Chain A
């Protein structure tokens, strides 16, 4: 089962998302403080993160930027969930992977989370395969060799 970290300063939103994702077979980890977000990532090693942007003290942008600049966490897909439609443009700047506009359609949330779980699975496989090449020092195919 996939773990989904839900970061939003509004408890009614974290509770809603947690209930929804639990129904859909995920393990939700709701937290309502931006300050705790990075610790939670380290402790719980979530598979995917739903992140609000506008939060007191530590903003979602800061959290995302830090996650994406740390090689141990940068592979975790971050879906920004914001009420500010203009924030959609910021998604790429801060290194996030996707965007959901509040208020959201529950089906869209589920679809988005599933999409990124699937992608993560395939990315992980690619990463493993690539590692294998390195480890075993497999020869390059002839076609790629310089003449």
Chain B
């Protein structure tokens, strides 16, 4: 059986009573002598009822298989959108086709025919039989059954089919639309019930009227869903007091008519377990705008919170545990240096002790960088922002670093007056320090390190330029990536694990600034960053503010 037919049948079989329709069609046949069929959108006959097949019987191979009538009916129907139409088959016979439509699509066809509008010539019909490869006698015999209709009869048949197709179209459309609505509803329910987040609908009194599985889990597992928004719900805050109802997100929705997004709330269950949820809730209004209920989404973030806490703990422990031995190593080395420098002939030992100290400082920087990255990446980093004068800051950092290398000259070019930036001075100092340190490190031959500060529109731009070994063009964009180091033999001689520049990027971005580099191999590099200049009120768009003093 050619595929697809039954699907077309089912589309019609569901919504309409095929037997009743067939009875109507048969009565039309009785009046006009026409064969009338209902076919699906692909032209296959819809089974059921008496079928007067007439010419089709003569010209097709099998009932459901290919036949010229089916092909012609379908071919004509897309052109008869919305109207019932007459067309010719095999030169002399006529059909009337009426489309059954649902939502702009062809759902099926009524076909009436064949009939004749005028007496035919048997020669013409004979040539049709020859063309179709059928016995002439059989075709002529069949043709004698074909009625000759008057214009009036044809018009009546056309109107009848037109009305019938309009009626059936409406039935099919209705059925399919409501079917679709049901399918949509089922799909929506499946989505909501399958959601990992809890979803619950509440009435005006805070009672749960609908809740998905995850919501049931969160709102109460033993006694079925209880509302956490009603006194005596059994859900309590982690401190084991009953929740003050007014502070709960849903209470705010009801009392203030606002939507609440991701309000963090912890519940303590009867068994002592505490879960933390992010709750988003919004009011449901009726057509008059009165709040009739609310819908809330609960996201259980208990595990996330725990992971966050563990990470904090690890960062904190690492910070402490690494720094304690570093403190001792660094401190005693400094003591040693103090003692050695008081004695004569200890230059070699003094040099070695200084080497130990330098390496200890390097290790300390790495630990600090790792901690900074961990905090910055997790968004826990707090910036202590104030109005900062960049020229003053840059000069101070340059002064401090001048002692770092005798082979390098640090030059600062900065305007006397520049509007302040709203920034954490320590952190910007850290960025500058790393950039200048980098410039010194990667210009081993010594020379100038030029630090420039200048305004650029509504931002301040700071550049640190060296004339050192430079970076290959293809690698320039990667230098701010975490753990990135220019991987060649040359740079292995330079210390670092590729964290410093990554830290500078995170720090500058935390200030809503940008950082970038330009470089040419063998010619040197320019590392630049920009920070937004303060507006009149000293504030910029910064969103990471110091919280401890607010």
Query: Given A102-B326, A103-B364, A83 and B331 touching (CB < 8 A)?
Result: no
Contact yes or no, B328 A12, CB < 8 A: yes
Stretch of B154-162, B195-203, B317-325 with 4 or more beta carbons under 8 angstroms from chain A: B317-325
**B window 525-550: CB within 8 A of A:** 546, 548-549
List B contacts of A20 (CB < 8 A). Answer: 331, 335
Contact yes or no, A85 B384, CB < 8 A: no
Specify the chain B residue showing the minimal Cβ separation from A90: B548
Partner of A89, one of B319, B325, B368, B548: B548
**A interface, CB within 8 angstroms of B:** 10, 12-13, 16-17, 19-20, 54, 83-86, 89-90, 92-93, 102-106
CB distance from A32 to the nearest CB of B (A): 12
Contact yes or no, B324 A86, CB < 8 A: no
In whole angstroms, what is the CA distance A89 to B320 when docked?
16
Query: Given A20-B335, A54-B320, A10 and B548 touching (CB < 8 A)?
Result: no
26 example contacts (A-B, Cβ-Cβ < 8 A) are as follows A10-B327, A10-B328, A12-B324, A12-B327, A12-B328, A13-B324, A16-B328, A16-B331, A16-B335, A17-B331, A83-B319, A84-B319, A84-B323, A85-B319, A85-B368, A86-B382, A89-B382, A89-B546, A89-B548, A90-B548, A92-B548, A102-B324, A102-B327, A103-B331, A103-B360, A103-B364
Contact with A along B310-349 (1 / 0, CB 8 A): 0000001001101111111111101100100000000000
List B contacts of A105 (CB < 8 A). Answer: 334
Q: Is B375 part of the contact surface with A, judged by Cβ < 8 Å?
A: yes
CB distance from B190 to the nearest CB of A (A): 47
Chain B binding surface SS class = helix
In whole angstroms, what is the CA distance A10 to B326 when docked?
12
- Extra 17 A-B pairs, beta carbons < 8 Å, given A12-B325, A54-B320, A83-B322: A12-B328, A13-B328, A16-B327, A19-B335, A83-B320, A83-B323, A83-B326, A84-B319, A84-B323, A85-B319, A86-B382, A89-B382, A89-B384, A102-B326, A103-B326, A103-B364, A106-B334
Specify the chain A residue showing the minimal Cβ separation from B328: A12
Partner of B324, one of A10, A89, A92, A106: A10
- List the 7 shortest-distance A-B pairs measured between CB atoms, nearest first: A83-B323, A103-B330, A12-B328, A102-B327, A16-B331, A103-B327, A106-B334
In whole angstroms, what is the CA distance A84 to B330 when docked?
16
Q: Is B371 part of the contact surface with A, judged by Cβ < 8 Å?
A: yes
List A contacts of B331 (CB < 8 A). Answer: 13, 16-17, 20, 103-104, 106
Specify the chain B residue showing the minimal Cβ separation from A12: B328
List A contacts of B368 (CB < 8 A). Answer: 85
Interface size class of B (residues with CB under 8 A): 20 to 34
**B window 283-331: CB within 8 A of A:** 316, 319-320, 322-331
CB distance from A86 to the nearest CB of B (A): 7
Contact yes or no, B323 A103, CB < 8 A: yes
Specify the chain A residue showing the minimal Cβ separation from B371: A85
Chain A binding surface SS class = helix
Specify the chain A residue showing the minimal Cβ separation from B316: A84
List A contacts of B324 (CB < 8 A). Answer: 10, 12-13, 83, 102
In whole angstroms, what is the CA distance A54 to B323 when docked?
12
In whole angstroms, what is the CA distance A10 to B368 when docked?
20
CB distance from A50 to the nearest CB of B (A): 12
CB distance from B361 to the nearest CB of A (A): 8
Contact yes or no, A16 B316, CB < 8 A: no
Most chain B beta-carbon neighbours within 10 Å: one of A12, A17, A89, A102:
A102
**B window 189-230: CB within 8 A of A:** none
Partner of B327, one of A19, A89, A92, A104: A104
In whole angstroms, what is the CA distance A12 to B330 when docked?
11
Specify the chain B residue showing the minimal Cβ separation from A109: B331
Contact yes or no, B548 A102, CB < 8 A: no
In whole angstroms, what is the CA distance A14 to B386 when docked?
35
CB distance from B473 to the nearest CB of A (A): 36
CB distance from A36 to the nearest CB of B (A): 19
CB distance from A58 to the nearest CB of B (A): 16
Specify the chain B residue showing the minimal Cβ separation from A16: B331
Contact yes or no, B320 A84, CB < 8 A: yes
CB distance from B323 to the nearest CB of A (A): 3
List A contacts of B327 (CB < 8 A). Answer: 10, 12-13, 16, 83, 102-104
